Structure 1
């Protein structure tokens, strides 16, 4: 792969609020070489004149479900592997075209999909996956309607696994399920720590898993030098997950000021997912979201922006996620537009780059522009630090996208 040198760039490095004009950045062997205010030498390099546009790190979405081909979880279970995989390819290609050069599949993604991406069979961002989510019986990962008494493989292969989750009860089952997902290459483990929107039998406010079960899962992940994420809406579920060793809270929608301060003191992260809440409120019924789930969406929607404000005021470290299901995947960029109601553009940009890289344990490698970092870059037509809506336009304002040193899109 020939070296590439970007010139005349307005540089946002993923961290600093002050961009530097007239910068040059070299890319050699899939890595960033020099970052300099001076011209970088290299007779064999391709030179790209950025024309004063903003050069910034590729975006990171920490909460996707590539196989979630419908807003109705039962439909996902019944769709079959080819259908769900086709949806994954479509969704991941769209994410890449929007400037997301890294995603974390936090429930369902597996080694097979990761290998297909690595082998170039699917156009996709850099792909991290948590394997199947670990849920208790009657938890957010148990998809059986309330009238179903037995585990029916046609509804959910509980006791083994469904598309997105596996059921485990008690310390021994939780340990075994965790070890199995880690054995298959999961980069982290996700558990269901509270009730959820799309599951039929658990109220949003319900806390899930006992302390000994959560601590057992956390212990297994620490031995593997990785971490646990916990799906949590309610404040109590958030607090107890953090107290039991969970590193990352997914959603955090119903957090209160006291819990936000507690999370900040603990050093844990939260990955809010606003885009999916708005999408399910506006389109859920038309797309087949069950009535019980429609009512749950109203609960989290009413508190979502206030939750973001509590996190911001407390100084919680916040990552970037979307959690879009089925046909709502096209709303991925809307997350930027929603967050601007609470955050300044620089805060959102850090959330979608350097902070999300820290959550992935890839600080200094992803989400930044620095010597030695991975060459995941985008060129924005304009200044996203002044106008974050430039990133909310489905990639239309991106002149160039580079993933792992390869140019994916080039209008320059």
Structure 2
């Protein structure tokens, strides 16, 4: 089994918010086996001197859409299946290059794409897929034009569709079971209106409480959980009381809803980068006028939501939720968050908290013996200068995923 030693680096302990200076990280196979300040010497080991560099865990993005190669999700869903899949490949590779070794797909990706990455067939971050998100008729996942008809059964869904439309308690139970059968590691629901869909105002709540509870029951029966797209305090509190474990976006949260989240042990996954970019590029890249009109109302409020979640003690995972060509701005989320909650909490959101969301504590988001060897070597100190990670791949010199070097700096 191959051994790699990252020698004499500054290992970032994100729990303590401090560096272990001059430490070495020993990787054997796909695991970290030792973090030591002694001389790590092994026969036939590959030794990489990273003196003066930051050694830290690979990033976790808890809200991506890897199959959304087009910003207009209706257009994206209309693509032939093979094109939707092929167009995802460079998006996945670019995420990995930016240091995101794990992502939770919030609608679209399935077991097959997850397996393609796991087996080494294609480069990309480890995927925790949601399958198709569940949406009520006329909800955030319903991108039909008013004159259209819908596919008659789930077997007709296109690869580029991030969601499926399903109504009624019995039907949502079946849909949740189908997505789990197809490999979904969690179930995504649309619990309020959204930005990218034309006909559902953001203030609307979606799905009845009975439907949400039925979906939650099916997820829990399969030892997993529900992630809920929700913007307003009303929609957030309602979804959490019905059992949703993570709230996606949450830009219009209020103190009362944040208190409900804290009481129920729920997580927030804000996705602020997407609104800044949508405001600039959305129209050019095909977002409808109705959707663009919704952006500004949630963009400014999103920054305030970070303070509300923080003050209520709600843990926040890192999310980006970028669509199409805008996915290149994924790392901007670091910059936006650091301005509000500081560098350390921002970095924790993309590592420690992300691992909690995924139920992978001790395996992901940490540099420690026994953890999976998802490791970054960064040129700079992200605790002081968030630009060390906010500029995408620019200052990330090495990326290790499952112990394999998947990116390295070019020779000087």
Structure 1 length-normalised TM: 0.96
Counterpart in 2 of 1:325? 323
Secondary structure, aligned partner of 1:341: helix
Decide which of 161, 166, 169 is 2:167's aligned counterpart: 169
Distance, in Å, in 2 between the alignment partners of 1:105 and 1:224 is 18
Structure 2 length-normalised TM: 0.96
Counterpart in 1 of 2:94? 94
Query: Contact 1:151/1:157 (CA < 8 Å) preserved in 2?
Result: no
Decide which of 336, 342, 345 is 1:344's aligned counterpart: 342
Distance, in Å, in 1 between the alignment partners of 2:277 and 2:363 is 32
Secondary structure, aligned partner of 1:253: strand
Secondary structure, aligned partner of 1:47: strand
Cα offset, 1:159, TM superposition: 9.5
Counterpart in 2 of 1:380? 378
Query: Contact 2:22/2:51 (CA < 8 Å) preserved in 1?
Result: no
The number of residues matched between the two structures is 408
Cα offset, 1:36, TM superposition: 1.3
Distance, in Å, in 2 between the alignment partners of 1:325 and 1:204 is 19
Distance, in Å, in 2 between the alignment partners of 1:40 and 1:302 is 49
Counterpart in 2 of 1:32? 32
Distance 1:169-1:160 versus aligned 2 partners, 3 A rule: farther
Distance, in Å, in 2 between the alignment partners of 1:17 and 1:405 is 24
Distance 1:157-1:282 versus aligned 2 partners, 3 A rule: farther
Query: Contact 1:382/1:390 (CA < 8 Å) preserved in 2?
Result: yes
Distance 1:157-1:289 versus aligned 2 partners, 3 A rule: farther
Distance, in Å, in 1 between the alignment partners of 2:115 and 2:353 is 26
1:158-184 Cα offsets, whole Å, 9 max, x none, are: 896452111111110000000000001
Counterpart in 1 of 2:228? 230
Distance, in Å, in 1 between the alignment partners of 2:218 and 2:380 is 46
Distance, in Å, in 1 between the alignment partners of 2:305 and 2:92 is 29
Counterpart in 2 of 1:4? 4
Distance, in Å, in 2 between the alignment partners of 1:58 and 1:257 is 32
Counterpart in 2 of 1:77? 77
Secondary structure, aligned partner of 1:218: helix
Cα offset, 1:157, TM superposition: 7.2
Structure 1 gaps, min length 5: none
Query: Contact 1:56/1:379 (CA < 8 Å) preserved in 2?
Result: yes
Distance, in Å, in 2 between the alignment partners of 1:359 and 1:189 is 13
Cα offset, 1:123, TM superposition: 1.2
Query: Contact 1:141/1:166 (CA < 8 Å) preserved in 2?
Result: yes
Cα offset, 1:302, TM superposition: 3.0
Cα offset, 1:127, TM superposition: 1.3
Distance, in Å, in 2 between the alignment partners of 1:371 and 1:113 is 29
Secondary structure, aligned partner of 1:324: coil
Is the deviation greater in 253-262 or in 331-340? 253-262
Cα offset, 1:258, TM superposition: 2.2
Distance, in Å, in 1 between the alignment partners of 2:63 and 2:204 is 22
Query: Contact 2:275/2:295 (CA < 8 Å) preserved in 1?
Result: yes
Q: Superposition RMSD on alpha carbons, in Å?
A: 1.5
Is the deviation greater in 167-176 or in 119-128? 119-128
Query: Contact 2:249/2:270 (CA < 8 Å) preserved in 1?
Result: yes
Counterpart in 2 of 1:391? 389
Distance, in Å, in 2 between the alignment partners of 1:303 and 1:350 is 22
Distance, in Å, in 1 between the alignment partners of 2:42 and 2:132 is 46
Structure 2 gaps, min length 5: none
Counterpart in 1 of 2:138? 138
Query: Contact 1:131/1:181 (CA < 8 Å) preserved in 2?
Result: yes
Decide which of 278, 281, 301 is 2:299's aligned counterpart: 301
Q: Does 1:212 align with 2:210?
A: yes
Q: Does 1:410 align with 2:408?
A: yes
